[in-house]
Amino acid sequence: MVGKVLLVGESWVQVTTHYKGFDHFVSGGYDTGVAYFRRAMDGWGDWVQMPGHEAQSGFPLEAEKLSDYSVIILSDIGADTFLLHPRTWINGERTPNRLRLIEEYVRCGGGLIMAGGYLSYQGINGAARYRSTPVEEALPVELESYDDRVECPEGVQPKMTKAKHEITKGLEATWPHLLGYNRVKAKKGAEVLATVGADPLLVVGEHSKGRAVAWTSDIGPHWCPKEFAEWKGYTTLWRRMIAWASGE
C-alpha cells in the first residue's frame, strides 16, 4: 500500500457543431479517461483526480501542499495549465512556477509519473510544451522539440526489455498491442523496462531523493485499447509503477 496519489488531467470538455441541411446547432459534453485506471486502483490505493479544468487554479501554489501526496501522475495535461494560474493569466500577477514546484517535489523525495497522450511530453503540434522545463529535468527521458506523437492504427507490440525490475518481474515478455505513444529518448543512467519498436515505452529513473516514471502511451483508449487495458498486466503495471515511484 502506498500513500495518497494525485492524478492531474485525463479529462476534457468537448463542443460539437451539428450541421443538418440549412440548420445547425451546438452541443457540449464532459468526459474523463480514467475508467480503466480506476478499476486498477480499486481496493488497492488511495487516489484523487484533479481534472484539467480544475488544475489551472486548483493545483497547489505551495510546495508544502504537494507533500500530501506520495505520487503525482500527469496525464494528458499541458504545461500551460500549470504555468498560467488565473492570477497571472487574468490579473497579470506573479505566481510561483508550478512546474518548478513539481521538480522540487521530486528532488526532495516525491514520486512523479507522466503518462502519454496528446497533451503529454511535447504532444500534438508540440502544444504540451514540457521540453526544457523543470518537469523534463525530473523525468528520466529527454523530449523532442516538436510534435512527438507516433500513431500506430495497425497496432504496435510492446516488448519488455528488463525482466528483473520490481515493476516488470513476472510479466510476459510481449504485451498486448498499443495504438500509439509519444516518442522520447531515455536519459543516461535511466532504465528502459519496455519498448515499442526502437522507442522507449516504460522508463524509470531517480532525481536526487525522488523517483520518476515515464509511461509514453495512454492510460486508456485510444492509444491504450481495451485489449491492453483489460489485460491483467495493466493493473500490475500501474500498481507497481506507483509503488516504485513512491519509494515503497
Tens of pLDDT, residue by residue over 119-173, are 999 999 999 999 999 999 999 999 999 999 999 999 999 999 999 999 999 999 8
Between the CA of residue 178 and those of 130, 168, 223, 231, what are the distances in Å? 23, 17, 6, 12
> In the predicted model, what is the mean pLDDT of the chain?
96
Confidence tier at 248 by pLDDT (50, 70, 90): confident
Q: How confident is the model at residue 80 (pLDDT cuts 50, 70, 90)?
A: very high
The confidence band for 232, taking pLDDT boundaries of 50, 70 and 90, is very high
Q: Are strands 5-9 and 47-50 parallel, antiparallel or unpaired?
A: parallel
Predicted confidence band of residue 1 (pLDDT cuts 50, 70, 90)? low
C-alpha cell at 52: 484539467
Domain ranges for the chain, please list them. Answer: 5-246
User: For strand 199-207 and strand 158-160, is the pairing parallel, antiparallel, or unpaired?
Assistant: unpaired
- Answer whether CATH 3.40.50.880 is correct for domain 5-246: yes
Lowest mean pLDDT segment, chosen from 1-10, 74-83, 99-108, 226-235: 1-10
Question: Residue 117 contacts by C-beta under 8 Å, 6 or more apart in sequence?
Answer: 9, 10, 75, 76, 123, 182, 218, 219, 223
